[in-house]
Structure 1
Amino acid sequence: MDMSTRYLGLTLKNPLVVSASPLALDIGNVRKLEDCGAAAIVLPSIFQEDIENEIDEMERLIAEGNSEAFSYFPAHMSENVGPKNYLDLIRKAREAVDIPVIGSLNGTSRTGWIDYAKQMEEAGASAIELNVYFLATDLALSGADVEARYVEILTGVKKAVSIPVSMKLSPYFSSLGHMVKTLDQAGADGFVLFNRFYQPDIDLDELSLVRDLKLSHKGEIRLPLLWIAALAGNIKGSIAASTGVQTAVEVVKYLFVGADVVMTTSALMRHGVGYMKTLHDGLVADLKSREVEKLSDIRGRMSRGAVKDVAAFDRVNYIRILRSGAYNA
């Protein structure tokens, strides 16, 4: 059985990709994930704030003429701005494994991204994932302004590097399909659907904001399923499914609607990096039971363009569910 797939122009041995998380900070974990079947790994995101803070610190030292502190920076500082540990992580990960290692940039504006993207490419990243973590809470900001920011970031990074660039998107656009098409035409090599924004809760006893991490669950698969099904076959870029992957069942569903690869982090954080083997073996078993010879035999068979009942993806589905009573309380 041929489980190979193409993602961002890269040939992967199977569709299982580790999405960005702290797990990949440990090179031992990176090696084990490869051994357990991962076909590629997205390193944890480096944040725009981290890059800017280090730039600010360097500029402060220069302004103060602090020659002793300044001596700790490399001779060609303009070529090495940004948190060095992340660049070292890219190098070490590339040396440790044979599978592609994808760097991740997390930010809200073009500032600081372009030079750092170049350094990530030089450090050996196989591709770059742009995680534009931007909530438009400024009430004066229009939808067009928000969308323009995404395009500006993408085009700036694409001009700076020669490796593939993907966009990790949230579903919070008034016309998500149009936004993806716009970014596709602007040169995005792929899309990760979807990013999960971590909104705060409130502690009523302390009257303080609670910032905690809620891992995804399989019930969250439905929104990405719908949009991947709608986009499959209609864009040039690759499609990575993300969110809600807990078992091989979710992986297979994502492949059926047209995903090129399927990403997971929550399952690995719940069960440990060795759980990648469980996902891999479960995927192999499912495909064998279906007598699948290659992934293209099932990929996209349940996409919006492939099914006869297109209305099942749209509003009529909502109406039918309500009238039939086929819903969970």
Structure 2
Amino acid sequence: MAKPLTTTTPTDLSTCYLGLKLPHPFIVGASPMVGNLDTVRRLEDAGAAAFVMESLFEEQIVMEQGRTLLDIQSHVDEFSEASSFFPEPAEFRLGPQTYLDQIRHIKAAVQVPVIASLNGISASGWLEYAKLIEQAGADALELNVYYVATDPDESGVAVERRTIDIVRTVKRAIRIPVAVKLSPFFSSLAHFAAGLESAGADGLVLFNRFYQPDIDLEELEVRNELHLSDSSELLLRVRWLAILSAQRKLDIAVSGGVHTATDAVKAVMAGARSVQVVSAILKNGPQHLATLRSELSRIVEELGYASLSEMHGCMNLARCPDPAAFERGNYMRILQSWRP
């Protein structure tokens, strides 16, 4: 593929993700870092284009609701006065209020967009808090679809339909943009993405990093340990970015495997509108964002592009010189290429 002519115009790294105009594609992904306002300010000073908050899980909501109801009901019948003193459960604003408060605090502390994240398994769990998150001032909402299908009686079609129904319900209830964070384990990801787009999703995030449990042979225990990502994890994301960006009009972000500016360039060429960074910041500190932005500008310029938008999608399934490399056609060739 011929490269565009080199230009002396300053490199434009701006992008648009979920209708949000960003000066560059580097977003701080969902992590506990957003729980500290001083860290949030340092990340903004280092150049963060936006923040994704860590997920609010439906289990947290249910647990807090159950605890509050227990506290109420355990005292209602002890004294006759209690029946009038305690309001009905429906009158309480149940749930982790601190999450909503943190949205307001971050919005007041920084000038860049704040994307909330919600992880639920039922339509009601998503809907109620999606509305509250919007009211708290979030600029967009990421629906974090973290669901491990272990029921042998539940089909893949049923799993997909439930998620599509959730997206449709949430989109009808709120006005802010909605992205869906997916796992790579759906049997027909391209078909599923089409269904999510039809349901009203504004974007996709590829992919959720499931933290796999390990087995301790000495203690005979299942252990969960956090392993930060590395650049090798980007390859699966690049493949599906290239496929889906050629098929859908959705804004697609990559999450997982972006540690260098070269990683970001690969993601953008495959079709990413933004890249979420977590592990690289945890390893190198907030200042790594400034390094990534500077290096991205240098690489884009060296490749002969005047802007990031010129580069966007140039290597996706519809535009790359060898589309078969993203599909089955390259499978046998790769397997036979290894030599001892």
Q: TM-score range by the shorter chain?
A: over 0.9
Match of 1:101 in 2: 114
Q: Structure 2 vs 1, CA of residues 163 and 74 (structure 1 numbering), >3 Å: closer, same or farther?
A: farther
On the 8 A contact 1:81/1:116 being kept in 2, the answer is no
Stretch moving more, 102-111 or 121-130: 102-111
Among 192, 200, 203, the residue aligned to 1:179: 192
Match of 1:162 in 2: 175
Structure with more contact order per residue of length (Cα contacts < 8 Å, sep ≥ 6):
2
Q: CA deviation at 1:68?
A: 11
Q: CA deviation at 1:81?
A: 2.5
On the 8 A contact 2:165/2:199 being kept in 1, the answer is no
Count residues with an aligned counterpart: 326
1:252-291 equivalences in 2 (<5 Å)? 252-291=265-304
On the 8 A contact 2:197/2:250 being kept in 1, the answer is yes
On the 8 A contact 1:104/1:129 being kept in 2, the answer is yes
Q: Deviations over 1:125-144 (max 9, x none)?
A: 00110101100011111111
Q: Structure 2 vs 1, CA of residues 312 and 27 (structure 1 numbering), >3 Å: closer, same or farther?
A: same
Distance 2:63 2:185 in 1: 29
Instruction: Tell me the amino acid that sits aligned with residue 146 of structure 2.
Output: Y
User: C-alpha root-mean-square deviation of aligned residues, in Å?
Assistant: 2.3
On the 8 A contact 1:90/1:124 being kept in 2, the answer is yes
Among 207, 221, 232, the residue aligned to 1:194: 207
Among 261, 269, 278, the residue aligned to 1:248: 261
Distance 1:237 1:313 in 2: 19
Distance 2:107 2:237 in 1: 30
Q: Deviations over 1:37-70 (max 9, x none)?
A: 1111001111111111112223223333459999
Distance 2:194 2:127 in 1: 23
Among 42, 63, 66, the residue aligned to 1:32: 42
3-state SS, counterpart of residue 209 of structure 1? strand
1:17 aligns with 2:27: yes
Stretch moving more, 34-43 or 270-279: 270-279
Q: CA deviation at 1:75?
A: 11
Match of 1:299 in 2: 312
Structure 1 gaps of 5+ residues are none
Among 239, 251, 255, the residue aligned to 2:252: 239
Distance 2:42 2:296 in 1: 18
3-state SS, counterpart of residue 142 of structure 2? strand
Match of 2:164 in 1: 151
Q: Provide the identity percentage.
A: 47
Q: CA deviation at 1:274?
A: 2.1
Q: Deviations over 1:210-265 (max 9, x none)?
A: 01111111111111101110111421221001111111110010001111111111
1:52-131 equivalences in 2 (<5 Å)? 52-65=62-75, 78=91, 80-131=93-144
